[in-house]
Structure 1
Amino acid sequence: MNDIIGVRSFVLITGASRGFGRALALEMGKVVGAGSTLLLMARNMADLETTKAIVRDARPGLAVELVSIDLETANRETFENAVRSNYGSGDHSVAVVIHNAGTLGQDGRKITDLTDIDEMSRYYRLNLFHVICLNSVFKSCFPATRTVYINISSILALQPMVTWGHYCGGKSARDAVFRVLAVEQPESVVLNYAPGPLDTPMVDDLLADTQTDQVVRTMFEDMKQNGRLLRPADSAATMVALLRKQNFKSGDHVDYYDDAAKEAMQSNTAASSSGGSSSGAATSNSSSSGAAAANTGSGV
């Protein structure tokens, strides 16, 4: 098993301007090897600069490059220019792309209320099509480098939730695409990681939206008030632990609450206690089907 963590790496993270994307940038920045490059993408450059400052504070001297990009309109040329102009040394041991960007696409409507094809096309272009395109570009940019493809998924890729037809459909489709990728690219590592119910600005946006379905609103309000939302840093550290231990089959869907994630964190904690390297965040023991349904980790 070849190491993913601790080696010279090129790491691209979409939706890195806030929330879970920012946590991923920080945790990955802590554990990549010397000479690595982080390429962070999002629409808001000011927020990306904040993420960069946080990462560089934890890891002085790390190459952190930023690209302001609208993933709804980005195409092959856009992605190629972004990656090739930020290669860094170009001799990385591993190239990692983490697809965190995404939107909820919910406004209180049920699936049978959706009739606008153009609206649907815009949603899936942002939440699915750009992911497929970027993976293809990533492969072409690193033809001789070991590649790792990570989809930030959700329990809602597997379970339905009322008025979240777009979100469930997009997450389910992304999982399927990454499972195909794992079969087609057996030399690569592919992971669908569901980070659990996260306390991110996306939840605040959801609760502030007057169109949010009341059942959904009540569920999120209960989780937030009762402290059942996870810290993004904890879930990001768990994903890093999974990449370190690699105790999953390429293409698997692994949830924060799954045994594989718990085992990886236990190994991480044991290594840290014995003086090994660890990103060090502890996991939460809270779980419920309602909490799992709140996995809205994307950090657009």
Structure 2
Amino acid sequence: MTDTTPARPSVLVTGASRGIGRAIALELGRDHHVIVGGTTRRGVDAVVAQLPDAEPFVADLSDAEETAAAADGITRLDALVHSAGVGNRSPGEVALAPREEWRRVLELNVVAVADLTRLLLPLLREAHGDVVMINSGSGFNRPGPGGGIYAASKYALRALTHALREEERGVVRVTSIHPGRVDTDMQVDLQARMGRPYVAEEHLRPESVAATVRLALEASREAMIEELSIRPVFKA
């Protein structure tokens, strides 16, 4: 007997082995085929094992050849969620940060995003699919001392997202999500470097950000959530 069950929508989530990306993969895994992106086989496989319908996507996105090889293995795609990202190391002040640090952050937070999107756009166009960029409040707000590298990458990602949206309008929907402080390992490290005590309850849960991704993907087809800011209720 032929199986006539419709295939689940297929979504690639980068940075899905931890933090916000993992929460997104688990949330969408309830009714999507999830392609779990990450840099290590061990981390990716741990998330794949938790999902009813998933496969691995293991690549260092800062490596063009690895990225292209991994993308070549995808044959169907309805949505691409860019959650992989990196913060800058201390010191981040312009007077102290070396050229290599600017390159490291911009490479993963901007260049890799543009490149992977380029590689997968033919599939996304065919599906009239979605691209969701997990940006940051730093893509909206004025950075403080030492925050220039990370903020520059997120401002650039916002510009990339705006351009992509207009280039693909009517074919692929493009959404930019800007979370405030989220309870992740990156945030723990950031607050420690700023000398602040860390209280998890003062931050967004990764699951709250994942819910906004679902909101964008489930918008009716004539609608597009272009930008969405989600911030903690707690006032720092």
Aligned 8 A contact 1:178 1:191 in 2: yes
> Is the contact made by 2:182 and 2:204 (CA closer than 8 Å) also made in structure 1?
yes
Change over 3 Å in CA distance of 1:128–1:170 after alignment to 2: same
Within 5 Å, give how 1:1-300 maps onto structure 2. 8-32=8-32, 37-54=33-50, 56=51, 60=52, 62=53, 64-73=54-63, 75=64, 77-87=65-75, 90=76, 95-114=78-97, 116-159=98-141, 160-186=143-169, 187-207=171-191, 212=193, 216-218=194-196, 221=197, 224-225=198-199, 227-245=201-219, 250=224, 252-257=226-231, 286-288=233-235, 290=236
How far the C-alpha of 1:142 sits from its partner, in A, is 4.3
Contact 1:194 1:255 in 2 (8 A): yes
CA–CA separation in structure 2 for the residues paired with 1:10 and 1:254: 23
CA contact (8 A) 1:106 1:163 kept: no
What is the rounded CA distance, in whole Å, between the counterparts of 1:242 and 1:254 in structure 2?
9
Report the Cα distance in structure 1 between the residues aligned to 2:220 and 2:14, rounded to whole angstroms. 22
* Distance in structure 1 (CA, Å) of the matches to 2:92 and 2:173: 37
Residues 66-109 of structure 1, C-alpha deviations (whole Å, 9 max, x = no match): 12211222x1x53343233243xx4xxx6211111111113133
Output the CA distance in 2 between the equivalents of 1:129 and 1:45: 23
| Residue 248 of structure 1: how far off its partner (Å) | 11
Superimposed CA distance per residue, residues 121-155 of structure 1 (whole angstroms, 9 cap, x where no aligned partner)? 23211211011111110113444221211110111
- Cα shift at 1:249: 6.9
**Aligned pairs, how many?**
229
Cα distance change of structure 1 residues 45 and 158 upon mapping to structure 2, 3 Å threshold? same
SS in 1 for 2:201: coil
TM-score by length of 2: 0.86
| Contact 1:197/1:230 (<8 A) preserved | yes
The equivalent residue for 1:293 is none
Identify unmatched segments of 5+ residues in structure 1: 1-5, 258-283, 291-300
Q: What do residues 201-249 of structure 1 show as CA deviations (whole Å, max 9, x unaligned)?
A: 21233355xxx2xxx332xx2xx32721122112212321233236997
Cα distance between partner residues in 2 of 1:151 and 1:119 = 22
Q: CA RMSD, aligned part only?
A: 2.5
CA distance in 1, matches of 2:150, 2:220: 28
CA contact (8 A) 1:153 1:192 kept: yes
Please give the per-residue CA displacement for 1:28-69, whole angstroms capped at 9, x wherever unaligned: 11133xxxx321111122121221122x2xxx3x1x111221
CA distance in 2, matches of 1:78, 1:206: 29
- Answer yes or no: is the 8 Å Cα contact 1:99–1:131 preserved in 2: yes
Unaligned runs of 5+ in 2: 1-5
User: AA paired with 1:133?
Assistant: D
Shift of the 243–142 alpha-carbon distance from structure 1 to 2, 3 Å rule, reads closer
How far apart are the structure 2 equivalents of 1:252 and 1:106? 31
User: Which structure ranks higher in relative contact order (CA pairs < 8 Å, sequence separation ≥ 6)?
Assistant: 1
CA separation of 1:10/1:79 partners in 2, compared to 1, >3 Å: closer, same or farther? farther
Which one-letter code corresponds to 1:70 in the other structure? D
Query: What's the offset of the Cα at 1:180?
Result: 0.4
Structure 2 partner of 1:294 = none
